[in-house]
Structure 1
Amino acid sequence: MKNLIFDLGDVIIPIDLRAPLRNFAMLANMTEEATEALWKQHGIWQRHETGLIDDDTFRAAVREIMGNQPNSPANWADEVIDTAWNTVLLDLPVERIERIRALALNYRLFLLSNTNAIHIREVNRRLDSLGQPPLETLFERVFYSHDLKMAKPSPGIFQHVLREASLAAEETAFFDDNAGNIEAAAALGIQAVHVAAPLTILDYLKDY
């Protein structure tokens, strides 16, 4: 094994996928269920994650789809939206970062994440506050869905990473918390490791 590819959410940094829904619902004086229904109807989460809309368009879409609610978000500042959006990210365990940095001595390291620029800026801000390098320095290459305009579990995104980084699938391990992503990677010959609670990435890296 020569190459290690990591997912970001719930592998490196713990996440709470429902936290943004709870926070936007609270801001708009709505129920969480009604907020979730609106977001699913308009698909802005997925469009943002796959780069079909940029950060400004995403924020405008949030204001628009929730604008007819009792507590109108029409005047929400960008910072208000970003703060609620970033509640998906929980505390970043520094020991995971230090373990990954140690692995760089023996492996080529890569990051492959379904994400968006707002979340990446926040993760890098937190890394800086911990005295750690940004993701783009921590890994040899980073591959973000919003840049590539495609997302896991599409086989194309894995093929892109293998091709761009000149990786042999059989020499590459991939760590992800999503079973569908694991299946897609394994189908291409990558050694796919499903990171499942209560274990953490530190448990799966003991033999590396």
Structure 2
Amino acid sequence: MPFYFHNFSTFVILTINFMEILKGIRNIVFDLGGVLLNINPKRTIEAFGQLGMEQLIGDKGLTYDHAIFYLMEQGKITPDQFRDGVRKLLTNEVTNEQIDLAWTAMLLDFPKIRVELLQKLSHKFDLYLFSNTNAIHVEKYQSIFRNQHGFEVSSLFKKVFHSNEIGYRKPTFESYQEIILLSGIRPEESLFIDDSLPNVEGAIACGLKGFWLQPGEKVEEFFEQYL
């Protein structure tokens, strides 16, 4: 059963139709990985392991806990600086291509049903994308989408926000304030959907409404009325 958070300190377990949540909502802000884009972070962990990197478990046990990865997601280092930093964590000699292949191995596919959902939702809501990501992943996920569906993923949203481009990662207060400022949305009319509980809590602390997509749940299941 999903949790719908009304404010930062309390939550209510949903027993009503998900459509009730959307009353008064004009904007929906979607997370990317794990919500719209299928991902498998273990593939990247395994790929880097094959290149000689020790497994450093971080957020949700699915990533590496090292400053180089967070600096990349904040846009504070370039892709080449990132690759050079990764090399220092490896025991093997590797090329840029090998690093990029390992780093993007977690990115899988965009199910057609979610693309159709976004297209239909866009007739009723202004849609936004806000992802903790980096330049290498951005190029890759856009390519995956283009190859799958034949058009640009950005066309599905009014605006797209990448952490490496705005300079802040979720769940920092500044990250949500920045997208509110850049998009011009009213927080009380906006629903934020993410598969990370801290990210949802962070959004609610900034005045947005939040919905936590829990493990095993699929976002399209909560919008059946629009499919």
TM-score in terms of structure 1 length: 0.87
- Post-superposition shift, 1:154? 0.7
Secondary structure of 2:32 counterpart? coil
> Out of 108, 118, 134, which is 2:126 matched to?
108
Report the equivalent of 1:131. 149
On the 8 A contact 2:170/2:199 being kept in 1, the answer is yes
On the 8 A contact 2:72/2:164 being kept in 1, the answer is yes
- Post-superposition shift, 1:111? 0.5
Report the equivalent of 2:7. none
Secondary structure of 1:137 counterpart? helix
Q: 161-170 or 197-206: which moved more?
A: 197-206
Report the equivalent of 1:27. 51
* Separation (CA, whole Å) in 1 of partners of 2:171 and 2:186: 19
- Post-superposition shift, 1:207? 5.2
Q: 188-197 or 132-141: which moved more?
A: 132-141
Pairwise mapping of residues 187-206 of structure 1 onto structure 2 (< 5 A)?
Answer: 187-206=205-224
The Cα RMSD (Å) is 1.7
* Separation (CA, whole Å) in 1 of partners of 2:183 and 2:209: 16
- Ranges of 4+ aligned residues in structure 1 off by more than 4 Å: none
Q: 53-62 or 13-22: which moved more?
A: 13-22
Change (3 A) 1:97 1:61: same
- Post-superposition shift, 1:132? 4.1
Secondary structure of 1:36 counterpart? coil
2:20 maps to 1:2: no
Identity %: 31
* Separation (CA, whole Å) in 2 of partners of 1:181 and 1:169: 15
* Separation (CA, whole Å) in 1 of partners of 2:217 and 2:44: 25
Report the equivalent of 2:113. 95
Pairwise mapping of residues 145-184 of structure 1 onto structure 2 (< 5 A)?
Answer: 145-184=163-202
Q: 134-143 or 173-182: which moved more?
A: 134-143
* Separation (CA, whole Å) in 2 of partners of 1:118 and 1:103: 29
> Out of 31, 54, 60, which is 2:78 matched to?
54
* Separation (CA, whole Å) in 1 of partners of 2:127 and 2:97: 32
Amino acid at match of 1:196: Q
* Separation (CA, whole Å) in 2 of partners of 1:137 and 1:78: 30
Q: Return 5+ residue gaps in structure 2 as ranges.
A: 1-24, 58-63
Secondary structure of 1:65 counterpart? coil
On the 8 A contact 2:109/2:145 being kept in 1, the answer is no
Report the equivalent of 2:8. none
Secondary structure of 1:130 counterpart? helix
Report the equivalent of 2:96. 78
Amino acid at match of 1:98: E
Task: Identify, as 1 or 2, the structure richer in helix.
Answer: 1
On the 8 A contact 1:135/1:142 being kept in 2, the answer is no
Q: Return 5+ residue gaps in structure 1 as ranges.
A: none
Report the equivalent of 2:22. none
* Separation (CA, whole Å) in 1 of partners of 2:31 and 2:212: 10
